[in-house]
């Protein structure tokens, strides 16, 4: 049997741009706690559910993908890098999921952004420290997979992990409430410069769309593993929590791999400068969470 540790955590490009680490200090302290717990767990494999910000997938957008080879785009402080993807295991996972009734897309040489690079850097200390299978989930190109389907998908992935006999860290990355203008449009062909300019020019409006109350209700539902509430909140998140909250689908997938046990809040802090409610949860408690 495998041993699994689940981490669900927000990401934000502004976190890496803040090289002096003056912002989000409460959240950063939570990251340090989770990183220490992960180091103690000493994973042999990472499975990383992440969304795509219309960079890797533009004209064809899979609901669910399994990368058998992948790299990271150069972005902010992150340099371009090839990920250490165990292709045989990724291929076996793909075949398992297809037999289980999930028409996943097998992705080769896909170039991924901070949704994948940031958690690997922050929680593992490097993007090649541990072999990783990237698992893209469509959170940005409607129509999106339903929350119920995402939960079923995560549970199927968990059944595969049970066969590996490894220590597996499962990460779900994205959310919580945030509303980047670049995702609130049907355009799929924006350049990085256009995306950056649009998001910077609408930052004040995005800050106004942050919703700590929604975030805390979502975290509470994750702790209780209240799937009815999680499904409702995820499928209807945009009016209250913004288009970026769709990324919590990755949290549902990751948590479902552990067999439906509630997670423990490590930290929560709404960071205005990052336009995002920043939260982190783990399947094993690592310290008291903050109300932010």
Dihedral angle sign, alpha carbons of residues 8, 122, 22, 250: negative
Distance of CA 9 to the CA centre of its chain: 6
DSSP classification of residue 275? T
The CA distance from 194 to 213, in Å, is 31
Beta strands in 222-291 (DSSP E): 264-271, 276-282
Task: Give the count of beta carbons closer than 10 Å to the beta carbon of residue 114.
Answer: 23
Residues 141 and 167 sit within 8 Å (Cβ to Cβ): no
Active site residues: 114, 178
Task: Give the count of beta carbons closer than 10 Å to the beta carbon of residue 287.
Answer: 17
By the 10 Å C-beta count (0-12 exposed, 13-18 middle, 19+ buried), 238 is classed as: middle
Residues 236 and 214 sit within 8 Å (Cβ to Cβ): no
Tokens found for residue 116: 């994948």
Tokens found for residue 170: 């499962």
Q: Tokens 């165990």 map to which residue?
A: 86
């Amino acid at each position: 049997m495998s041993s699994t540790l689940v981490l669900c955590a927000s990401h934000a490009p502004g976190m890496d741009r803040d090289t002096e680490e003056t912002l989000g200090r409460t959240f950063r302290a939570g990251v340090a706690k989770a990183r220490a717990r992960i180091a103690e767990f000493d994973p042999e494999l990472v499975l990383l559910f992440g969304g795509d910000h219309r960079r890797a997938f533009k004209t064809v957008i899979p609901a669910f993908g399994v990368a058998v080879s992948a790299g990271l785009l150069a972005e902010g402080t992150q340099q371009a890098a090839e990920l250490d993807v165990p292709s045989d295991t990724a291929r076996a996972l793909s075949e398992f999921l297809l037999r289980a009734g999930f028409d996943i897309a097998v992705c080769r040489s896909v170039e991924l952004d901070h949704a994948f690079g940031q958690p690997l850097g922050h929680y593992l200390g490097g993007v090649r420290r541990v072999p990783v299978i990237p698992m893209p989930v469509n959170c940005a190109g409607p129509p999106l997979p339903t929350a119920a389907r995402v939960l079923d998908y995560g549970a199927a992935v968990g059944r595969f992990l049970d066969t590996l006999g490894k220590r597996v860290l499962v990460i779900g990355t994205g959310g919580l409430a945030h509303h980047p203008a670049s995702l609130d449009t049907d355009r799929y062909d924006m350049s990085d410069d256009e995306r950056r300019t649009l998001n910077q020019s609408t930052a004040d409006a995005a800050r106004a769309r942050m919703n700590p109350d929604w975030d805390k209700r979502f975290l509470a539902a994750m702790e209780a593993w209240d799937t009815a509430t999680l499904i409702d909140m995820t499928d209807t998140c945009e009016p209250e929590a913004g288009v970026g909250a769709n990324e919590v689908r990755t949290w549902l997938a990751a948590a479902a791999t552990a067999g439906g046990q509630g997670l423990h809040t490590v930290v929560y802090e709404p960071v205005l400068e990052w336009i995002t409610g920043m939260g982190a949860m783990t399947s094993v408690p690592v310290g008291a969470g903050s109300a932010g």
